[in-house]
Amino acid sequence: MIDEILLKKLPRHVSIISKAKLSDYTTFQLGGYCPFLIDCPDEESLVQTITLLGAQSVEFLVIGQGSNLLVADAGLQQVVVRYCAENAADVTFEGNLVRVSGHTLVDDLARLTIEKGLGDLSYCSGIPGTVGGAIAGNAGAFGQQMGDAIESVQLLDVDGRRHEVSGAELGFEYRSSILKQTGGVILSALLRLQPKEIRSMKMERERILELRRTKHPDWRTMPCAGSVFRNIEPTSAADRRQAAGWFLEEAGVKDFRVGGAYLFEKHANMIVADSGATAQDVFELTEKMIEAVRDRFGFELYREITLWGKF
Ligand SMILES: Cc1cc2nc3c(=O)[nH]c(=O)nc-3n(C[C@H](O)[C@H](O)[C@H](O)COP(=O)(O)OP(=O)(O)OC[C@H]3O[C@@H](n4cnc5c(N)ncnc54)[C@H](O)[C@@H]3O)c2cc1C
């Protein structure tokens, strides 16, 4: 566990929050306490922090914007290291290559590359979260995903060693990458994009932002973590992935509610937590949804959100 000596060795410009409430760091606004949350404002402080924690065998978890997480009410035993630049995008351009820090918001990356006439990340418009979180989970929308444009990634091992890992080595799959098993912290990524007309990309971005405004909950006022379940794998190579939301609606879940957790009226695959909700309410609602689809269709739904802690 973290002790006074280690705390004193941490870089001066990190914020150390003792007994941090994870509901303050997740878009579900749920979750109990962790012993310490160390908020790293830049790559250097992140590397130093993780190297120190690794050297002392302190267990830690990395969080970006917390937009794909459900943290248990009982909280976590581990230290949480936060790497999220809500107001400080770090993106540099060299020809068609884009270097972006892991803590830049994905939506900022989309906006800045569009302004530069490089495409096409407009599908990322309005997706909450950091580039690190989006690459680790291969976030995507409208048939495109982060892994498509990744040339390489600067990774930091738990023991503080840096590696440049190619996109091919990251084993991108639907909403997953090899990092889900191996761990490793994404410091930055190199993307290769092609020149594209700015005007058409801006229009596409506006179209997508409007679609999200009208069809998805706004997580700032309706706490949520986006789609709860993964879409359904095709049964043959010719089929397309089918929306989990369709099966959920057909299974009649739209009015399901557990405590303060309920389904967003316009999207059966999105759970919203109202002010009295607990993480356990959300978890139990997901169990009821899985059961309803199993009873109606005979297959299992798998969660897209990541669960941390005991449920
Ligand atoms: C309203 C709403 C809409 C959404 N729409 C979409 C969508 O269209 N498509 C989609 O794919 N997702 C969507 N999401 C889910 C979420 O925004 C994405 O999964 C996002 O990429 C998660 O990034 P994050 O920084 O919040 O990660 P977090 O939730 O903080 O973490 C998720 C995982 O990534 C890991 N991680 C975080 N940072 C790093 C890092 N630097 N290095 C290594 N691992 C890291 C964490 O350890 C954890 O395992 C939506 C969420 C909301 C709330």
> pTM of the predicted model, to two decimals?
0.95
Give the list of residues 6+ apart from residue 256 with CB closer than 8 angstroms, or none. 262, 263, 285, 288, 289, 292
Q: Which of 40, 48, 51 is nearest to 90 (CA)?
A: 40
Show which residues are catalytic: 175, 227, 304
Using CA positions, which residue lies closest to atom 21 of ligand 1? 134
Ligand 1 pocket check: which of 25, 45, 68 to mutate, most ligand atoms within 8 Å of Cβ? 68
pLDDT, tens digit, 9 for 90 and up, residues 36-61: 999 999 999 999 999 999 989 999 99
Residue among 137, 139, 156 nearest 306 (CA): 137
217-311 matches 4-82 in CATH topology: no
| φ and ψ of 285, to 5 deg | -65, -40
DSSP 24: G
Over the stretch 210-231, which tens digit does the pLDDT of each residue have?
999 999 999 999 999 999 999 9
**Is residue 14 over pLDDT 80?**
yes
Beta-bridge mates of residue 94: 97
CATH topology of domain 217-311: 3.90.78
**CATH class of the structural domain 91-213:** alpha beta
Whose alpha carbon is nearest atom 14 of ligand 1? Answer: 226
CATH class of the 4-82 domain in this structure: alpha beta
Task: Write down the domain spans for the chain.
Answer: 4-82, 91-213, 217-311
- pLDDT tens digits, residue range 264-289? 999 999 999 998 999 999 999 999 99
Rounded Cα–Cα distance for residues 124 and 285 (Å): 28
